[in-house]
Structure 1
């Protein structure tokens, strides 16, 4: 059984693309049929329609994170201080602006190519659901406002509650530069357009190995692709496929539930538009509605993987379904009697900085990669396509000169320290935030451990 979004998107679709059988040649071979791989393919074909692009996908396009995330199309405004610390003022401002433009670019692309991805550009609301969270965004807001780049405005508590449809919120900041999408409809729409533009697509084609003879040779289960350039866009699967990245990311689940249709309840709550709502805890709660009257709620930071391995549980209904249902009732008592239609989860590839990174595999000029979106990939994956297509084409532009293309910045500890440490920190965060939710003072040891996660950029933004 597929995750809810993907199952919904596949209704009435044509059959899968064929699996690769035998040997083929190509100008470019892209490994991975999610947002990053498809945006890269599409931007390559837009730049050079005659380029022969082959894309292989182990399952079907959108089967990974791209077809099962929360569908929150967010910018990098809240990451400005991290961007500035890592890359400097000028590049940080450029990346924030690029991330803002991405909202319009994805919307325009869908309009141009008739992709009904249920995009609603109704903004996002970052809130506080405990007193400890109040003011957590003030520093980044002030820094952006000083530079004329801020889009967030503070709302009084009654307005926050009205827009968010819930009285649980204590404060909030609204930005109009954000959207929600049905992510599987988006990725399947990108797949359709890629085929229309002449991308050769092979689904059910698992990547086996990469060698050089002397150029890149991608081997699959039943075939191979000899290409001039290769793009690796497999995200959470990179660590187990290429050992050199084992410590570059940590895999952690983001778990979601979605209700049955209840448009009349959402109407009474006054929460029917495409606003996304995220609180300010370390592993955030995030929720949004759908055009057909459902409410989806998710939370990150639950299941951690040992050794960067994608676990079977990531492809199953969420083991945290009951807890999420209780959380949903806490936000919306009015929805307590509405049945849960589905739950799911998936692996999120957390980088040490909370930002994606790109580069040349083993310093080669013909193999490129990008991953580490850390729970915020719907919008940034479009920028990933701009970066990777620019690298493939050998361009000298702001993307290929960006510090983002210098590979991972920082690593996680080796196993078993990483795994054990992740669980210890996760549980400390849970205790700390439970105390804060109850209005109590958390244990100082839990506060100190929680800072480790914040320093590592592990907060989940769906």
Structure 2
């Protein structure tokens, strides 16, 4: 049960090689105050928050694979705030509440940095910042509206970087300009997940892996049936992110796409010679973002989003194993980083990335079932914001009226996508238009009118679309 070992990401294989775990599937009946579906970052931060608020609470996590087996063990390991998504926060929440949530995400980064400093949590964290950059004239200044909006509120999250600045830092002249978020970090994502797993067990949370929920009987209590047992709980938390799309009630509000990761063999001497032994990460401003980072042992991870999407929420098994775009992604890496072109590829894998209509995650309670809550849709930036998500979900699960349960992100989904098969077909059309548009921009050509029109329908990912200045709403 679970993802076969040979289909796992390098991150998870490495983490499991360094730490022996003994999964315990659910057998028989278990009772809990709160049951959490999903043993990724969001589920485990929620469990820790619940135990911090009410230590006597009985909390159970059910995970269909092992903790960290999903997106939490496959992502690029960029620990970012919501600074690049501030325009979306401001549109949804208004300036002041948007600023509060931005600061909450910045505090989440600090909390995760502190967590990684605990004894035994060796997540390879390096805090050298993240560069939001442009690789074409069309992307140039994609950050300007965000920086301007933050400046109006007296918030400074970014510092400008010229092409020469970026080249000196990243040994590449493919990036024309950008801005630097100094407090961002990189880490080994699967090692963070296993560190969280250890922390929730130490907090008294019961964790049952290899225990997928095969049937849920809503009510008070709610009954969650796994293959060999049942959890009877006062409340239920869906913390599934991409896998939430497998449930009909969430499917219309999420699009799940693939992100491809390519990791090189270690080359610490070459990186030292080039001045790349730091932890600075970089992303361009495409809708299908391309990102790069190094690792403490001298590897380079290069990732690209948007290779394919799911039909009817079929996520399980569709994002396991190697990249389907090995040659094209590696060719892009060599073109962007010619000084690294000789590095050999050691591993490649895919992972699921969610997109929502707002580019932000959403949280809420099921209609007519207030004891069942949910949160998902991090849209390309979940390592840091999942900590905020844990606070929101814990408050919702406990029925607390506080700044987390009443924030605009906790109002449920705001906007959705067409039903199948129109969504799947539409996603393919839009994704192809985005790819053609960005190829034209890379070549310095004006994109076709039709491609530009279809590309404008794509939901935002890691960074906002250039020129899409939203008008602030009032909250």
Q: TM-score, normalised by structure 1?
A: 0.96
123, 131, 134: which one aligns with 2:137: 131
Judge conservation of contact 1:16–1:60 (CA < 8 Å) in 2: no
Matched, 1:323 2:324: no
Judge conservation of contact 1:36–1:384 (CA < 8 Å) in 2: yes
Structure 1: runs of 5 or more not aligned: none
Per-residue deviation at 1:102?
Answer: 1.1
Partner in structure 2 of residue 270 of structure 1? 275
Matched, 1:354 2:359: yes
Matched, 1:157 2:160: no
Deviation by residue 1:136-171 (Cα, 9 ceiling, x = unmatched): 111110110121112211122201111122111111
The alignment partner of 1:224 has SS state of strand
Judge conservation of contact 1:126–1:278 (CA < 8 Å) in 2: yes
The alignment partner of 1:378 has SS state of coil
1:99-248 residue pairs with structure 2 within 5 A? 99-112=105-118, 114-212=120-218, 214-240=220-246, 242-248=247-253
444, 457, 460: which one aligns with 2:460: 457
* Distance in 1 between residues matched to 2:65 and 2:462, nearest whole Å: 29
Per-residue deviation at 1:44?
Answer: 1.3
Matched, 1:404 2:409: yes
Partner in structure 2 of residue 379 of structure 1? 384
288, 292, 311: which one aligns with 1:283: 288
Matched, 1:307 2:312: yes
Per-residue deviation at 1:354?
Answer: 1.2
* Distance in 1 between residues matched to 2:352 and 2:82, nearest whole Å: 21
The alignment partner of 1:286 has SS state of strand
Partner in structure 2 of residue 36 of structure 1? 42
Deviation by residue 1:158-213 (Cα, 9 ceiling, x = unmatched): 01111122111111111112111100000000001111111111111111121135
Per-residue deviation at 1:402?
Answer: 0.5
* Distance in 2 between residues matched to 1:282 and 1:3, nearest whole Å: 24
Structure 2: runs of 5 or more not aligned: 1-5, 465-475
Judge conservation of contact 1:249–1:349 (CA < 8 Å) in 2: yes
Matched, 1:369 2:370: no
Deviation by residue 1:64-123 (Cα, 9 ceiling, x = unmatched): 000000101111112111111122122111111111111111111222354111111111
* Between 356-365 and 200-209, the greater mean CA deviation after superposition: 356-365
Per-residue deviation at 1:303?
Answer: 1.0
Partner in structure 2 of residue 56 of structure 1? 62
* Distance in 2 between residues matched to 1:377 and 1:457, nearest whole Å: 14
Q: Structure 1 374/363 Cα, relative in aligned 2: closer, same or farther at 3 Å? A: farther
Deviation by residue 1:32-57 (Cα, 9 ceiling, x = unmatched): 10000001111111222221111111
Per-residue deviation at 1:418?
Answer: 1.1
Judge conservation of contact 1:305–1:311 (CA < 8 Å) in 2: no
Size of the aligned set, in residue pairs, is: 458
Partner in structure 2 of residue 419 of structure 1? 424
254, 259, 263: which one aligns with 1:249: 254
The alignment partner of 1:267 has SS state of helix
Matched, 1:10 2:13: no
Judge conservation of contact 1:160–1:171 (CA < 8 Å) in 2: yes
Per-residue deviation at 1:225?
Answer: 0.6
The alignment partner of 2:195 has SS state of helix
Partner in structure 1 of residue 30 of structure 2? 24
* Distance in 2 between residues matched to 1:27 and 1:110, nearest whole Å: 29
The alignment partner of 1:366 has SS state of strand
* Between 268-277 and 369-378, the greater mean CA deviation after superposition: 268-277
Judge conservation of contact 2:139–2:285 (CA < 8 Å) in 1: yes
* Distance in 2 between residues matched to 1:336 and 1:232, nearest whole Å: 43
Judge conservation of contact 1:30–1:37 (CA < 8 Å) in 2: yes
Q: TM-score, normalised by structure 2?
A: 0.94
Per-residue deviation at 1:459?
Answer: 4.8
